[in-house]
Amino acid sequence: MPEPAPSSTLERLRARSSSPFPPEPPRRHLLVSALFRLAQRRRDALVTPHLFGGSDREKVLYEYERADEWWPFFAGAAGPDVLSGADVLDVGCGYGGKDISYAERYGVRSITGFDLPGFWDPEAAGAFAAERGVGELCRFTSGYAEEMPFEDASFDVVLIEDVLEHVRRPDRVLAESARALRAGGTLLAKFPSVRMLAAHHLDRAITWPGIHLVLPLRWWAAGLNHELASGTSNADFEPFDEIVSTPYHPAVTRNLNGLGFSSFRELVRDNGFEVRHLEIVPMTIRPLSWWRRLALGTYRALCRVPQLRERLGVTIVFVGINRASSAPAPSA
């Protein structure tokens, strides 16, 4: 059994991290080291490069330019027209760029975005909104999704993009969304399940899909933190949080909750929403050649196997209608 990491090593890792959680104690795993170094040689690109450098303005602009990338996932079940004339809340808004784009183009009455305190600078988003001429329509603040800092029945639409897999209490976030929505208001949510091939959230170090299904996440978090702490592989990324058990998964990094499709389906029905659309969205493959057509046919056939559908999907999408003007959040 590997020796526990010295406290000084853990302190060095903690000093490199912006996470409020402690890092997984580093331990060397030969296979993790070998795969990581092979990925480094291939220079795999980071999935979310705007999170790892650049000014606040550049981060806002990155999201502003990609604001419409999430609509195709809803496949006609919802589109930008739902924002017209609406008071909109964006839960976990990132750096606010998406909201500024929506305020410019989709006729919102107002749009409010919030994210974690210390994670972002609301003033940077506000300054960019003013520059684009929509400062009066946009409001940015900080807060927690489990305790939203807004009055009951304040919004017509709530957006939650790639947030529900991270929160400690997804049930409470849904209940808070229902409370903040007016009667008949719409919740649009999109998030990946850690059971999906590309949803391991190790992408700041290695992007290959399915690696967390080959080796446990605990091995990856400990092994990658070892690469970072040892300094022998020129690794440069934030340490990975400690591995914990949650009600939804036996072992995930602490910034994840392990929420999957079946658990989420139960939660939305318990928290004041009528389900209008709920599905696992498969990967998009453009059949431009014979082998791509073959791959697409094989992939679609495999997606019809119930035990494989979540594994092969890329995200979960949900459109729900609030059945009541307010809904009490579950007790802490």
Cα separation, 330 vs 54, whole angstroms: 39
The answer on 243 and 275 residing in a single domain is no
Highest mean pLDDT among 75-79, 183-187, 200-204: 183-187
For residue range 268-286, what is the model confidence (pLDDT) as tens digits?
Answer: 988 889 999 999 999 887 7
Instruction: Say what the pTM is.
Output: 0.90
Is the CA virtual torsion 258, 261, 266, 272 positive or negative? Answer: positive
For residue range 19-37, what is the model confidence (pLDDT) as tens digits?
Answer: 889 999 999 999 999 999 8
Query: Has residue 55 been placed in a domain?
Result: no
Convert 69-88 into a string of H (helix), E (strand) and C (coil). HHHHHHCCCCCHHHHCCCEE
The answer on 212 and 179 residing in a single domain is no
Question: Tell me, what's the pLDDT at 52?
Answer: 56
Mean pLDDT on 211-237 = 91
CATH number for the domain harbouring residue 119: 3.40.50.150
Q: Round to the nearest angstrom and report the end-to-end CA distance of the chain.
A: 38
Mean pLDDT on 161-178 = 96
The answer on 167 and 22 residing in a single domain is no
* Count of Cβ atoms closer than 10 Å to residue 271 Cβ: 25
Give yes or no for a contact between 103 and 126, defined as CB atoms under 8 angstroms apart.
no
The answer on 261 and 301 residing in a single domain is yes
The answer on 240 and 93 residing in a single domain is no
- pLDDT at residue 199 tops 90: yes
The answer on 275 and 219 residing in a single domain is no
> Domain span at residue 231?
7-43+200-250
Question: Tell me, what's the pLDDT at 6?
Answer: 65
Give yes or no for a contact between 31 and 25, defined as CB atoms under 8 angstroms apart.
no
- pLDDT at residue 261 tops 90: yes
Question: Tell me, what's the pLDDT at 1?
Answer: 46
- pLDDT at residue 86 tops 90: yes
Per the structure, the count of domains in the chain is: 2
DSSP per-residue codes, 237-268: SPPPBPEEEETTEEEEETT-----HHHHHHHH
The answer on 208 and 88 residing in a single domain is no
Strand partners, 253: 243
Q: How confident is the model at residue 17 (pLDDT cuts 50, 70, 90)?
A: confident
- pLDDT at residue 247 tops 60: yes
Question: Tell me, what's the pLDDT at 325?
Answer: 47
Question: Tell me, what's the pLDDT at 43?
Answer: 56
Q: How confident is the model at residue 88 (pLDDT cuts 50, 70, 90)?
A: very high
